[in-house]
Amino acid sequence: MTSQPITEDELQAYVDDALTPEWQAALEEHLTRHPADAERTAAYRAQKQALKALFQPVLDEPLPDRLQTLSVQPLRAPTGGGWTGGLWQRLAAGLLVAALGGAGGWLAHGQYLQGDRMARMVPLSHQAAVAHVVYSPDVRRPVEIAADQEEALVKWLSKRLGTPVRPPKLGALGYELVGGRLLPGNSGPVAQFMYHDASGQRMTLYVTTESIEKRDTGFRFAREGPVNVFYWVDGKFGYALSAGIDKGELAKVATAVYDQLDQK
Amino acid sequence: MDSRAILAELPRLRRYARAMLGDRAAADDLVQDTLERAWSRISQWRQGSDLRAWLFGIMHNLRIDQLRRAGLATTSLDEDAAEVPLRPTQTDRLELMDLESALRQLPDEQREILLLVALEEMSYADIATLLGIPIGTVMSRLSRGRERLRVVMDGRQQTANLRVVR
């Protein structure tokens, strides 16, 4: 060829082998006469190969459970809506009913027996699971204070809860502290610490000082939708550890948390 | 929709999300959001149409939503504002890491097209459809993105030898 000028678009398409064979050949001929274009297109080809090589390993990584699970259509809530929405609605509806009950009991204070009001409070495991479902998927703001300011976090939460609280160290089990936040509980503030493992799997530890039973309990287990929860009462604290992971693995972490907090 | 078909697309969705966002956890969050939205809109999926394109389209829209919600304007397309750091000579291994950091310096609009072409080997027409932009825009972003990446990698100051004929 050719008196026709070669366009930038053609050079790009040449790099991607998107032209007809004749056209590709014509471009090659052009490049022999235009070293600057030749250098540039060669660089683009190398770039393309390098990008492929850089991200190729992701294709061979094992899929995280949370993604694998979603390859199957999630069960919907009876009210319809997507999986997240449905779960959310169910949990939140339960919480709302319980909270209204609690508020009603609270407002009607004098008319109810103490035990009756207590019975209306939201169970620890459920509160913790709702808090987990609400905050752990949050990409941008999962916590109010991040782990790089752990000292400030501890100071603040201890002050608000009116008693020293401190996040256990779970690095040995592969979970690093992300940070924490303050949440409203049944009658006052509670704390939530968030952790994640190398795969990004998040776990939350919910700490309350308003435990219903004023006596220590052993581990209890609850399943709230896709969230597994271990919870227990130790002294004046109620703890609940929530994550979307296998019960056995969660039990291991719960044991470690218990051991650490018990040593104080 | 067949869950095996979805499973087959997951590695590619993850790769693209990782390349776009850089961060593993954030990328998997985006893939998870994509799947949840896909399932919630499963009635809009037409049997026999291109599943990969549909999922990539959902992912693209989610990302636009996220950027918008976060109040972040998508990165400016101002070519001249590009910072071009100098790169010392390095080994091949470092060069790949270097490539990743160079990739972060591209505006979103250029990076996504570069990646769809390089990783997914999508046609320009398919990319235009996927992103809802004219094919001419695809071409010009591809051209600018490639050149900027080259300049960043070369550590050169100016794109002096870029000759645009049109």
Residues 6+ apart with CB under 8 A from B108: B20, B67, B74, B75
Instruction: Give A220's strand partners.
Output: A231
pLDDT, tens digit, 9 for 90 and up, residues A203-237: 999 998 876 556 777 788 888 878 889 888 888 88
Nearest to A252 by CA among A180, A190, A243: A243
Say if domain B1-73 classifies as CATH 1.10.1740.10: yes
Q: With contacts defined as CB-CB under 8 Å, which chain A residues touch B119?
A: 51-52, 55
Q: Does A9 touch chain B (CB under 8 A)?
A: yes
Domains of chain B by residue range: 1-73, 77-166
Q: Quick one: pLDDT band at residue B96, thresholds 50, 70, 90? A: low
pLDDT at residue number A175: 93
Q: Does B162 touch chain A (CB under 8 A)?
A: yes
Q: Does B146 touch chain A (CB under 8 A)?
A: yes
Are A200 and B66 a contacting pair at CB < 8 A?
no
Are A70 and B165 a contacting pair at CB < 8 A?
no
Nearest to B27 by CA among A34, A200, A171, A20: A200
- Phi then psi dihedrals of residue A146, to 5 deg: -85, 165
Q: Does B28 touch chain A (CB under 8 A)?
A: yes
Q: Does B73 touch chain A (CB under 8 A)?
A: no
Are B99 and A140 a contacting pair at CB < 8 A?
no
Q: Quick one: pLDDT band at residue A87, thresholds 50, 70, 90? A: low
pLDDT, tens digit, 9 for 90 and up, residues B3-56: 788 888 999 999 999 999 988 888 999 999 999 899 888 888 887 788 899 999
Nearest Cβ partner for B150 among A36, A44, A74: A44
**Mean pLDDT score across all residues of chain A:** 79
pLDDT at residue number A82: 40
Are A63 and B124 a contacting pair at CB < 8 A?
no
Q: pLDDT exceeding 70 applies to what percent of chain A?
A: 78
Q: Which two tokens stand for residue A89?
A: 């609605």
pLDDT at residue number A189: 85
Q: With contacts defined as CB-CB under 8 Å, which chain A residues touch B11?
A: 58-61, 63
Distance CA A109, CA A116 (A): 10
Q: With contacts defined as CB-CB under 8 Å, which chain A residues touch B3?
A: 71-73
Distance CA A64, CA A244 (A): 12
Collapsing DSSP states into helix, strand and coil, what is residue B73? coil
Are B36 and A83 a contacting pair at CB < 8 A?
yes
Are B11 and A13 a contacting pair at CB < 8 A?
no
Q: How many angstroms separate the CA of residue A184 from the nearest CA in chain B?
A: 25
Q: Which two tokens stand for residue B18?
A: 């990782």
Q: Is the pLDDT of residue B77 over 50?
A: no
Cα–Cα separations (whole angstroms), residue A94 to A5, A101, A108, A120: 70, 11, 21, 12
Topology, domain A122-262 = Phosphorylase Kinase; domain 1 (3.30.200)
Question: Is the separation of the CB atoms in A126 and A98 below 8 Å?
Answer: yes
Pick B23 or B112 by higher pLDDT: B112
Q: Does A259 touch chain B (CB under 8 A)?
A: no
pLDDT at residue number A94: 44
Nearest residue in B to A66, CA atom: B32
Are A70 and B36 a contacting pair at CB < 8 A?
yes
Nearest Cβ partner for A84 among B11, B29, B36: B36
Nearest residue in B to A12, CA atom: B143
Q: How many angstroms separate the CA of residue A83 from the nearest CA in chain B?
A: 7
Q: Which two tokens stand for residue A40?
A: 């540039």
Domains of chain A by residue range: 8-60, 122-262
pLDDT, tens digit, 9 for 90 and up, residues A103-136: 433 333 333 334 444 444 677 888 888 888 888 8
Taken as a whole, chain A contains a residue count of 264
Burial of A78-103, coded b for 16+ CB within 10 Å and e otherwise, reads eeeebbbebbbbbbeebbeebbebbe
Nearest Cβ partner for A51 among B32, B118, B150: B118
- Phi then psi dihedrals of residue A196, to 5 deg: -145, 155
Q: With contacts defined as CB-CB under 8 Å, which chain A residues touch B134?
A: none
Tell which A residues from 113 to 152 touch B, by Cβ distance under 8 Å.
Answer: 137, 139-140
Nearest residue in B to A5, CA atom: B165
E strands along chain A, which residues?
145-146, 176-184, 189-196, 202-208, 220-224, 227-234, 237-243
Question: Is the separation of the CB atoms in A179 and A143 below 8 Å?
Answer: yes
Q: Which CATH class is domain B77-166?
A: mainly alpha
pLDDT at residue number A113: 37
Nearest to A126 by CA among A216, A242, A255: A242
Count Cα atoms within 13 angstroms, Cβ side, for A253: 30
Q: With contacts defined as CB-CB under 8 Å, which chain A residues touch B118?
A: 47-48, 51-52
> Burial, A223: exposed, middle or buried (Cβ in 10 Å; 0-12, 13-18, 19+)?
exposed
